[in-house]
Amino acid sequence: MKTLEEIELCVPQLNSSCRKPTHPHTAVMLIYVLLSSISFITVALNLLVIISISHFRQLHTPTNLFLLSLAVSDLLVGLLLMPVEIIYIEVCWFLGDILCTLYYILDYIITSASVANMVLISLDRYLAICDPLHYATKVNKSRAQVCVSLCWICSVLYRLFLLHDHLKNPGRSNTCFGECVVIISNIAGVIDMIFTFIIPITVIIVLYFRVFLVALSQARMLRTQITAATAKPGSVTVKRNEMKAARTLGIVVVVFLFCFCPYFFPTLEGEDTSVNASSAAFEIWLAHFNSCLNPVIYAFFYPWFRKSIRLILTLQILRPGSRDTKILH
């Protein structure tokens, strides 16, 4: 008959085996249901965003291309990262050190791409609000495609450089068999925090502060124009739509800050950052939960997204000519 010590080990016959993760059964079931629901909603909503922007020609704009790239990174979080973390809440890691390292590299690449997409979105709104006369010449679909491509390429190269030690020696952070842990040294963590958090967030905040000031100025101008009844309705509508888009994307950025700040707390305290696939750490799930919140924000603030959802769920996108459906008013 097995002893309690043997039952708690991932591999009972192996002295270097890790202990199995143990949590109360009721708590585990609640965690599984909650996190699985979050993963499903994340995949479903971001898939709706991707289908909407890809299918309807009227939505093929530079701004929506940046949103599409962000939705792709959010979809990958819900489709690839969340399920792994859910599975290994109560299970030992038996996929090997190489897959463990690749999993975390993928995790960090997606995170870096999300941050870069946020910067691109902020820059796009800044140019649209602060320099509307030259926006069409400075920002077009081809340039947006180049920026999105560079965003992903740079994220891959940056993460491979930062985690090259883990690639050379997979499993170097594991202390026992059945564990999947990556420990980022404080020096690497500081570098990562500077390039992945401080610099991008500083740029985003500065750009949105400028957008906020210009938006206030334009709001006053709009009130004056409407009162005097001299403004053309089309120009008023365009300005209003631009400011609504800036407000919505500003909310996206604020939510992003709220979700990602806790992850960098160990680095700010001068400690190494340890990420464990089986721990379901609060800060990791909070960062990933951001991928679920983004499309929810779109649903609340973007009428075109709500209309697209209705057309997709009712299968009207399968009808001939549906790509040319008027989504924007």
Q: Give domain limits for the chain.
A: 4-324
Q: What is the pLDDT of residue 5?
A: 45
**b or e along 190-203 (b: 16 or more beta carbons within 10 Å of the residue's beta carbon)?**
bbbbeebbeebbee
**b or e along 110-134 (b: 16 or more beta carbons within 10 Å of the residue's beta carbon)?**
bbbbbbbbbbbbbbbbbbbbbeeee
Is residue 155 classed as helix, strand or coil in its secondary structure?
helix
Whether the model clears a pTM of 0.85, i.e. scores above it, the answer is: no
DSSP for residue 169:
S
- Residue 176 backbone phi and psi in degrees, to 5: -160, 170
Is residue 19 classed as helix, strand or coil in its secondary structure?
strand
Q: What is the pLDDT of residue 145?
A: 93
Q: What is the pLDDT of residue 12?
A: 74
Distance of CA 158 to CAs 110, 112, 163, 277, Å? 12, 9, 9, 22
Q: Mean pLDDT of residues grouped by 10 in the chain (329 residues)?
A: 55 74 75 88 92 90 90 92 81 81 87 88 85 85 92 91 80 75 76 83 83 72 62 50 63 76 64 50 78 80 85 90 83
Q: Decide: residue 75, CB within 10 A, 0-12 exposed, 13-18 middle, 19+ buried.
A: buried
Q: What is the pLDDT of residue 43?
A: 94
Q: Which of 188, 175, 166, 184 is CA-nearest to residue 273?
A: 184
User: CATH class for domain 4-324?
Assistant: mainly alpha
Q: How far apart are CA 164 and CA 159, in angstroms?
A: 8
Q: What is the pLDDT of residue 147?
A: 93
Q: At what angle do helices 282-301 and 233-260 cross, to 10 degrees?
A: 170
Q: Which of 71, 52, 70, 45 is CA-nearest to residue 327?
A: 52
- The DSSP H or E segment spanning 134 is helix 132-138
Q: Decide: residue 260, CB within 10 A, 0-12 exposed, 13-18 middle, 19+ buried.
A: buried
Q: What is the pLDDT of residue 50?
A: 93
Q: What is the pLDDT of residue 7?
A: 55
